[in-house]
A and B are shown apart, each in its own frame.
Chain A
Amino acid sequence: MTASQGVLAVEAGEPVWGFGWIRVSCGACDRAWLVLRGHEGEACPCGEAKVEASSGEIPRVPPEHLVPAIVAREDLAKRLKEQVRRSWLLDRGLSIPDLVGRARLTWWPRWQLDATAVGHYTAEVGYDYEARSHVERYDGAAWTTEEKVDIRVDWQPRTGEIVRRLDDVPAPALAEDALWRERLGDVSRFEPVDFAPQQVPDAWIELPDLLPDEVWHRAEPAFRAWVGRMAQEAAGGQHVREVHFVGRYAESMWTVCLRPVWRTWYIGSDGKVRRIVIDGLTGQQHGALRASWTRALVWAGLFGSVAAVATLVMVITLVAAIFLPPLLALPILAALVAIFATILAFLPVLQVWSWNARALGAGE
């Protein structure tokens, strides 16, 4: 098997798989996509540049499977609102309608390997058995014996030949695969269906940046574990360990399984593009919902001004109260307002600081 068995090279603008799709890439984020012809020149889901038709490698065959999206565009607003309403100082760019309007359903690839294991195996197969055992209890004066039955494992060596085909062993297709799976969660419980191009009308399929040769070592342990399971089943055991396989994985076929991911972005008050990713299956969200320092400072200034005015009033009325003692209530009232306003002036700053610190901690 070679890398060329799993991928093929296409020219810029060359139709892919006969679906009317072309390969495009983004100069800013370096990602490559398959999009419906005519979408070249549109903004990349990263929000930083436009995609252009490009040449490069694509999977040799169309995707084999796809996990249909559960989170629809209508659900996005609700999910984003839940996040946004937690802070009243978010960036002005964080407008829900804008975020939803920019959101694009993209498809995230994972390699799937089908192959036939041909060779010889050795393994230790474990068979459960019941053994009579005892628990002895000493209470300070005498022993009492309690008989019990333990389930134990009898490990026995087994060897033999194996010619079996295994389909759909997953392997990452993107360098960031592990990172994003950690952030957005495992979706192995969602059943994939057979791929049809109608299920991805605008395409926006992200192209693998890892070639089969680069990820073979990630799929191989799964194959070896599967050989062990086959040996265990064939020998009628309940456990297996120390699996060794000598042979080859023949008739291998690399295909792709797609997972839906919503991507959107906004421009923060610092002028930088901030990206938000929402899993199309779980709705789990990751990205920068930044709070705005500008808004925090405006509010802090407002409350600070009130505090300053109240302090001035307090001083004036205090002087007046020396001559007119019945006015003494006024400086006291002014002092209370000044203290309260000063406390309020700190709150926006603290909130923005803690919100953004949390956002950074979450791996923005």
Chain B
Amino acid sequence: MPNHPLLQPFRPPRDYERHDSAVDGVSVWAPIPVEDADTDARAGAYRCEQCGAGVGFEVAAGAVACTFCGHVAQSAVSQVGTGAAQEVFTDAAISVAEQTWELHRKELHCESCGVDIQIEEGALTAQCGFCGSGQVLVREGLVSGLRPHAVVPFKVEGQALRERIDAWLQRGWMHPADLRKSASVERFVGVYVPWWTFSARIESTWKAQVGVKKTKRVYVDGEWHTKTVIEWQWWDGEAESVLSDWLVLGTSRIAANLAERIREYDLDELVEYTPDVLAGWQAQAFDRGLMEAWDLGRAAMRTRARADCRRAIHKDKVRHLSVTADFEEERWRYVLLPVHLTAYAYNGETFHVLVNGQTGALAGQKPVVWSRITIASVACFVPGLLLGLISLPLMLVGVGFITIFIALLLLIAGGLGAMWLVKTARDAEARP
């Protein structure tokens, strides 16, 4: 303990604790590590403290509110945005991330009324069907597993989306006419979906053959002519790519192709994880591990790094581009992002719809009437074929060459149009 008559009393910051010092006469204070104690205390059964009814996280109130009497409980939800805690790829952090958060639990004892409730594999929260308690399964999960670093709370209420979905179902000529009438969207399930965010700085070095245009004077047939030629030169250089909060889906339980379409989240609205945010909502644990997700994220990032190198060349003609992308300052975090899930049945088949719970962006599967697509695709070729047929007699009088050339162009355009139609239809179907 440092001691001297001139030493003023020391008041360490409130969230600091004393550490062992390796040097006599020097004391060491460090920030208290963020413990799970607070969140543990809140974990468990959620019931209204006023009337005892079930509670849930109310989007409008931004807090846990009673679904019966409307009483809003005090909760400490702090917005951290993209400044939310991130991890680095240390062996210890990777090891923790490999242990999923209560992934295999299938049965839960309700702490409120005492019954055992069944939850689907991978779910993190459940609504007790007996007492309506919003049970948050964190107490045991925190012991060994990785808990989310941050959450984007729901901002869009599911029920408010019904009209939008009706309008969406009605939209488009390639879908069945009775789709809106026959399809019935029963209910929306708000689910917190796991995502990994990755950030990295990539120092890339590149080497490529770059085509440089040069003009040359050539002497042909007794005259000088200027000719443009491409001279291939080896160039090399460096590029830096800074990529922040690259999202990779952490679950295989929702359609990845649909999730990709609603992935534009505003991560500035991330709040620090607390069980309060999940109260009353369903939440899914990740089943795509950190390293598997990082492989996907890195693959996307290196493609971006290569594009940055290509851009750095500032020339149109480039070949034999090779890139070495050195990853630095890699960071990751585990976040839960809000999604409303719903499904509707049509002709005995189930179609899924996802709505971004923050922005309201919608992506879903819609049945396609392929006979219409076939007719439309064939119709794309009609102008070209007709003009081609007209051109044949015109060729006999020597003026059909121009029209047959235009017909050929129309056929090519028709082919492209047909391909676009098929692709659009496939996208609308959004089969996994």
| A interface, CB within 8 angstroms of B | 116, 118-120, 129-140, 143, 145, 150, 152, 154, 156-164, 230-231, 233-236, 247-248, 250
**Chain A residue at minimal CB-CB distance from B3:** A163
CB distance from A353 to the nearest CB of B (A): 48
Asked if residues A233 and B22 are in contact (CB atoms below 8 Å), the reply is yes
Q: Which residues of B contact A164 (CB under 8 A)?
A: 23-26
* B322 contacts chain A at the CB level, 8 A cutoff: yes
Asked if residues B4 and A250 are in contact (CB atoms below 8 Å), the reply is yes
Q: Which residues of A contact B228 (CB under 8 A)?
A: none
- Contacts known (A132-B91, A163-B2); A235 close to B28, Cβ less than 8 A: yes
- Contacts known (A118-B4, A163-B2); A130 close to B91, Cβ less than 8 A: yes
Asked if residues A129 and B90 are in contact (CB atoms below 8 Å), the reply is yes
Q: Which residues of A contact B298 (CB under 8 A)?
A: 134, 136, 145
Q: How large is the interface on B (under 10, 10 to 19, 20 to 34, 35 or more residues)?
A: 35 or more
* B302 contacts chain A at the CB level, 8 A cutoff: yes
* B218 contacts chain A at the CB level, 8 A cutoff: no
Most buried by B among A134, A248, A250: A134
**Chain B residue at minimal CB-CB distance from A138:** B323
Asked if residues B25 and A159 are in contact (CB atoms below 8 Å), the reply is no
* B19 contacts chain A at the CB level, 8 A cutoff: yes
A164 to B28 CA separation, bound complex (whole angstroms): 14
A136 to B304 CA separation, bound complex (whole angstroms): 12
Q: List 7 A-B contacts (CB under 8 A).
A: A132-B90, A135-B324, A138-B324, A161-B2, A161-B27, A164-B25, A234-B22
CB distance from A236 to the nearest CB of B (A): 5
Asked if residues B27 and A160 are in contact (CB atoms below 8 Å), the reply is yes
Asked if residues B13 and A159 are in contact (CB atoms below 8 Å), the reply is yes
- Pick out which of these stretches binds chain A: B59-67, B147-155, B326-334: B326-334
**Chain A residue at minimal CB-CB distance from B208:** A140
CB distance from B409 to the nearest CB of A (A): 34
Asked if residues A159 and B12 are in contact (CB atoms below 8 Å), the reply is yes
Q: Which residues of A contact B31 (CB under 8 A)?
A: 156-157
CB distance from B120 to the nearest CB of A (A): 33
Asked if residues B29 and A136 are in contact (CB atoms below 8 Å), the reply is no
Q: Which residues of A contact B29 (CB under 8 A)?
A: 158-160
Asked if residues B23 and A230 are in contact (CB atoms below 8 Å), the reply is yes
CB distance from B177 to the nearest CB of A (A): 48
CB distance from A294 to the nearest CB of B (A): 61
A236 to B326 CA separation, bound complex (whole angstroms): 30
CB distance from A161 to the nearest CB of B (A): 4
Q: Which residues of A contact B306 (CB under 8 A)?
A: 138
Asked if residues B21 and A160 are in contact (CB atoms below 8 Å), the reply is yes
Q: Which residues of A contact B299 (CB under 8 A)?
A: 143
Q: Which residues of A contact B25 (CB under 8 A)?
A: 162-164
- Among the listed A159, A235, A236, A247, which residue makes an inter-chain contact with B8, where contact means beta carbons less than 8 Å apart? A247
A130 to B89 CA separation, bound complex (whole angstroms): 8
B:189-220 near A, CB below 8 Å: none
* B321 contacts chain A at the CB level, 8 A cutoff: yes
CB distance from B269 to the nearest CB of A (A): 28
A258 to B396 CA separation, bound complex (whole angstroms): 113
A234 to B18 CA separation, bound complex (whole angstroms): 12
A250 to B6 CA separation, bound complex (whole angstroms): 8
Asked if residues A131 and B88 are in contact (CB atoms below 8 Å), the reply is yes
**Chain B residue at minimal CB-CB distance from A156:** B30
* B45 contacts chain A at the CB level, 8 A cutoff: no
CB distance from A92 to the nearest CB of B (A): 62
Q: Which residues of A contact B28 (CB under 8 A)?
A: 158, 160, 231, 234-235
A131 to B294 CA separation, bound complex (whole angstroms): 14
* B94 contacts chain A at the CB level, 8 A cutoff: yes
Q: Which residues of B contact A160 (CB under 8 A)?
A: 2, 10, 12, 21, 26-29
Most buried by B among A140, A160, A247: A160
Most buried by B among A119, A138, A236: A138
Asked if residues B26 and A234 are in contact (CB atoms below 8 Å), the reply is yes
B296-333 vs A: 1/0 string, CB under 8 Å? Answer: 00110010011000000000000011111111101000
- Among the listed A135, A138, A231, A233, which residue makes an inter-chain contact with B326, where contact means beta carbons less than 8 Å apart? A135
B79-97 vs A: 1/0 string, CB under 8 Å? Answer: 0000000001111001000
A158 to B21 CA separation, bound complex (whole angstroms): 11
B:361-376 near A, CB below 8 Å: none
Q: Which residues of B contact A162 (CB under 8 A)?
A: 2, 25-27
A247 to B306 CA separation, bound complex (whole angstroms): 53
Asked if residues B10 and A138 are in contact (CB atoms below 8 Å), the reply is no
- Contacts known (A138-B325, A139-B322); A130 close to B26, Cβ less than 8 A: no
A139 to B325 CA separation, bound complex (whole angstroms): 11
* B7 contacts chain A at the CB level, 8 A cutoff: yes
A287 to B306 CA separation, bound complex (whole angstroms): 60
CB distance from A204 to the nearest CB of B (A): 40
Asked if residues B327 and A134 are in contact (CB atoms below 8 Å), the reply is yes
Asked if residues A140 and B322 are in contact (CB atoms below 8 Å), the reply is yes
**Chain B residue at minimal CB-CB distance from A159:** B29
Asked if residues B321 and A140 are in contact (CB atoms below 8 Å), the reply is yes
A136 to B12 CA separation, bound complex (whole angstroms): 46
A134 to B19 CA separation, bound complex (whole angstroms): 35
Asked if residues B89 and A131 are in contact (CB atoms below 8 Å), the reply is yes
- Among the listed A134, A150, A234, which residue makes an inter-chain contact with B23, where contact means beta carbons less than 8 Å apart? A234
**Chain B residue at minimal CB-CB distance from A231:** B26
A145 to B13 CA separation, bound complex (whole angstroms): 45
Asked if residues A132 and B94 are in contact (CB atoms below 8 Å), the reply is yes
Asked if residues B27 and A235 are in contact (CB atoms below 8 Å), the reply is no
Q: Which residues of B contact A157 (CB under 8 A)?
A: 30-31
Q: Which residues of B contact A236 (CB under 8 A)?
A: 22
A248 to B94 CA separation, bound complex (whole angstroms): 46
A145 to B24 CA separation, bound complex (whole angstroms): 48
Asked if residues A135 and B89 are in contact (CB atoms below 8 Å), the reply is no
* B168 contacts chain A at the CB level, 8 A cutoff: no
* B68 contacts chain A at the CB level, 8 A cutoff: no
Asked if residues A163 and B302 are in contact (CB atoms below 8 Å), the reply is no
- Contacts known (A135-B327, A159-B16); A143 close to B302, Cβ less than 8 A: yes
- Contacts known (A132-B94, A133-B330, A136-B302); A233 close to B323, Cβ less than 8 A: no
CB distance from A245 to the nearest CB of B (A): 12
Asked if residues A131 and B10 are in contact (CB atoms below 8 Å), the reply is no
Q: Which residues of B contact A116 (CB under 8 A)?
A: 4
Q: Which residues of A contact B27 (CB under 8 A)?
A: 160-162, 234
- Contacts known (A160-B26, A163-B25); A119 close to B325, Cβ less than 8 A: no
**Chain B residue at minimal CB-CB distance from A123:** B28
- Among the listed A119, A137, A154, which residue makes an inter-chain contact with B324, where contact means beta carbons less than 8 Å apart? A137
CB distance from A355 to the nearest CB of B (A): 48
With contacts A137-B322, A234-B27 known, what are 11 further pairs, Cβ within 8 A?
A131-B89, A134-B330, A138-B322, A139-B322, A152-B88, A163-B2, A163-B7, A164-B26, A235-B22, A248-B6, A250-B4
A297 to B305 CA separation, bound complex (whole angstroms): 71
CB distance from A239 to the nearest CB of B (A): 15
B:76-125 near A, CB below 8 Å: 88-91, 94
A154 to B327 CA separation, bound complex (whole angstroms): 17
Asked if residues A136 and B4 are in contact (CB atoms below 8 Å), the reply is no
